[in-house]
């Protein structure tokens, strides 16, 4: 028996088996849409890939990370049970993933446009609740919509009231480091009757409040409807923007399904050195697993700059 020849043959077979296994793993990863980490922190919402990952939030985070995503967001994070939030935070920490803004106050009725003392008490309590939750969830940003406008009050007085109420919030948030991001929403397609609708308007308010704890979330879907001029508006409001929301228009589905050139926008943000989160607040153009794959492929295409 030639012992050396047999050992060499066994080594060769073992190496070949490893190579086949590695090749199979690579093929599976490519089929699922993975190709390394994304350049920017695109953040799927929990449940966006439930056809692949199921309903468990931890399984969803694992799947997102495996696909190359570096962040998640969940608008309803503040309403989740404490034990679920704790598990999510631990898994994000393990995978070095960021958590995008959670909703502190949604659309609601007239609130920030008023100087009513009882309304202000509620606003202050909301800010305190947000700080408490952010500490527990290791969250950096909380989303806030200033509510509806008041037909019976001059617009400039409403603006002054919004600024004053946000200063109360800023005073509460600054010590903890929590950043409230104001979201302008479009009135033409989705949200008529709201006070805050445009990036320049939000920029003016942030400059007036003059606090590191009051910034803007630029929802590109909404702003394409309201004003367009996306990249120049990003540049003009840059110092006050802390986060982004994504969605193509029309349809509010994944990038490449509408008229917005997200590849150019992402390239621009990357060149500017943006390190924050971009929340994927949109639907899918196709149902089932094919729809989820289409979302991943769209972000791969737009991240290829």
Q: 173-232, pLDDT tens digit by residue?
A: 999 999 999 999 999 999 999 999 999 999 999 999 999 999 999 999 999 999 999 999
Instruction: Dump strand ranges (E) for 74-161.
Output: 98-99, 102-105, 141-144
Q: State the pLDDT confidence band at 156, using cuts at 50, 70 and 90.
A: very high
Q: How far apart are CA 99 and CA 220, in angstroms?
A: 19
DSSP lists the bridge partners of residue 244 as 218, 278
What tokens does 178 get? 């929590």
Q: What are the backbone dihedrals phi and psi of residue 47, each rounded to the nearest 5 degrees, phi first? A: 100, -10
Query: Is residue 15 very low, low, confident or very high in pLDDT (cuts 50, 70, 90)?
Result: very low
Bigger pLDDT: 154 vs 107: 154
Domain boundaries, the chain: 1-32, 36-302
Q: Under 8 Å CB-to-CB from 195, ≥6 apart: which residues? A: 112, 113, 146, 147, 148, 149, 158, 162
**What is the enclosing helix (H) or strand (E) of 92?**
helix 82-94
pLDDT for the residue numbered 35: 65
Closest CA to 177 of 244, 131, 235: 131
* Both structure tokens of 104: 């502190």
**Does the structure show a pLDDT above 50 at 27?**
no
pLDDT at position 108: 85
Residue 295 confidence (pLDDT) above 50: yes
CATH number of 36-302: 3.20.20.150
Distance from C-alpha of 304 to C-alpha of 210, rounded to nearest angstrom: 37
Q: Per-residue pLDDT for 114 more than 50?
A: yes
Find all residues with CB under 8 Å of 83, minimum gap 6, and list them. Answer: none
The rounded distance, in Å, linking the Cα atoms of 269 and 145 is 24
Using the structure block, give the residue that is written with the tokens 């919402």.
Answer: 45
> DSSP strand E in the chain: where?
41-43, 71-72, 98-99, 102-105, 141-144, 179-182, 214-219, 241-245, 277-279
User: What's the confidence (pLDDT) of residue 238?
Assistant: 98
User: 80 by DSSP, 3-state: which?
Assistant: coil
Q: Judge if the upstream peptide bond of residue 219 is cis by omega within 30 degrees of 0.
A: no
């Amino acid at each position: 028996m030639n012992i050396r020849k047999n050992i060499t043959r066994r080594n060769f077979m073992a190496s070949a088996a490893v190579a086949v296994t590695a090749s199979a793993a690579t093929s599976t990863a490519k089929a699922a849409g993975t190709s390394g980490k994304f350049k920017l922190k695109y953040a799927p919402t929990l449940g966006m890939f439930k056809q692949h990952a199921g309903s468990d939030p931890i399984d969803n985070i694992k799947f997102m990370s495996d696909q190359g995503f570096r962040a998640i967001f969940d608008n309803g994070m503040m309403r989740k049970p404490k034990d679920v939030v704790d598990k999510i935070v631990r898994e994000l920490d393990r995978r070095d993933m960021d958590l995008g803004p959670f909703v502190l106050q949604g659309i609601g009725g007239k609130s920030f446009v008023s100087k009513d003392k009882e309304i202000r008490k509620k606003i202050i309590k909301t800010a305190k609740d947000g700080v408490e939750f952010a500490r527990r969830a290791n969250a950096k940003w909380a989303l806030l919509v200033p509510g509806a406008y008041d037909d019976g009050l001059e617009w400039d007085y409403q603006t002054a009231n919004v600024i004053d109420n946000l200063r109360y919030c800023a005073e509460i948030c600054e010590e903890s480091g929590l950043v409230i991001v104001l979201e302008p929403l479009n009135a033409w397609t989705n949200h008529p009757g709201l006070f805050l609708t445009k990036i320049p308007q939000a920029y003016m308010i942030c400059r007036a409040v003059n606090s590191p704890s009051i910034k803007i979330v630029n929802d590109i879907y909404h702003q394409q409807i309201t004003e367009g001029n996306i990249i120049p508006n990003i540049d003009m409001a840059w110092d006050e923007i802390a986060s982004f929301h994504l969605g193509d228009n029309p349809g509010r589905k994944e990038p490449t399904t509408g008229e917005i050139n997200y590849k150019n926008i992402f390239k621009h943000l990357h060149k500017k050195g943006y390190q924050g989160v971009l929340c994927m607040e949109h639907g899918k153009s196709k149902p089932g697993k094919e729809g989820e794959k289409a979302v991943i492929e769209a972000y791969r295409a737009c991240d290829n700059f």
